[in-house]
Amino acid sequence: MPGGSVLTSRRYAVLGSTGQLGSELCRILPGKMMPLTRKDLDLAQPSNARPLLKELQPDVLINCAAYNLVDRAEQEPGAAFAVNAYGVRELALACRDLGCTLAHFSTDYVFGLDETRCTPYLEEDAPGPLSVYALSKLAGEYLVRALCPKHFVVRTCGLYSLKGQGGKGGNFVETMLQLARAEKPLRIVNDQVCTPSYTVDVAAAVAALVQTDCYGLFHITNSGSCSWYEFAKEILERSNISANVSPISSKEFGAIARRPSYSVLATRRAAKIPELVLPGWKDALSAYFEERDALASPK
């Protein structure tokens, strides 16, 4: 990895800087930080991508922006592809021409077509997206990998954070706590298995990754796996909240877009870099509650 003086002299532009990952990356990356929001660069209309990056001259552009409304994308595929594919194409071309490294985030949802799968997906496994959102994210991946030589494409999964909830609002942990405290019955999907991942851990790994020249596709998540029902049970147990929680199927839940029944990502490639090895999802949840408690404590 580059030395300390090199790190602190590097210039980072983070698009989607107020979201879960973006806000954490802005907090921990060394060097000059240039946070960008949709007002600075809207990937749905990315005509100013090249002139903006030419003006800023970042060494690394990290794209945390995305159209991530999974169900709505089924009704508005054009909007999903505009941001997740065509806008990303403009970033990749601009970064290529300016000699800038592009780090771009993708999703475990690029998998799922194989309904018999029960072992974690490797980077080289063939994708099988089930939804418009997933297909648009996969298209963005391919465009980055094809057009920008110095790239990192990072697939991650089940993100939650106390910071910057972005366009979705809230996170799964807080939603479970709020509903349970309101004494509302919780019916949680039990046939979708993934790895809930704490953005503090994922951001730390990505911050280390972009200091290297190990370009390519990486899976970066916490380790282990669970269903959303199992995750909810763990959240409530850690919080000492007694709630009426029951498992249901994806069919019973009735979401518009199909989700993978199994989308655990193998992190074998990331494991070759020590800083990219993340704790188990239960340990990550403990760290989340510690951060949450610290923020709630009077100063």
Alpha carbons 126 and 42: distance in angstroms, whole number: 31
Amino acid at 68: N
3-state helix, strand, coil in the chain (%, to 5): 45, 15, 40
C-alpha 82/C-alpha 46 separation (Å) is 9
Could you please report the per-residue DSSP string of 151-200?
EEEEEE-SEE-SS--TTT-S-HHHHHHHHHHTT--EEEE-S-EE--EEHH
Active-site choice (133, 198, 229, 262): 133
Q: Which residues of 213-224 are buried (b: 16+ CB within 10 A; e: fewer)?
A: eebebbbbbbbe
* Residue of 220, 208, 228, 215 lying closest to 279 (CA atoms): 220
Within 10 Å of residue 292's Cβ, how many Cβ atoms? Answer: 15
Whether residue 142 lies in the annotated active site: no
Q: How many residues does the structure list for the chain? A: 299
Is the dihedral angle over the CA atoms 171, 177, 178, 183 positive or is it negative? positive
Query: Cα–chain-centroid distance for residue 245?
Result: 27
The catalytic residues are 133
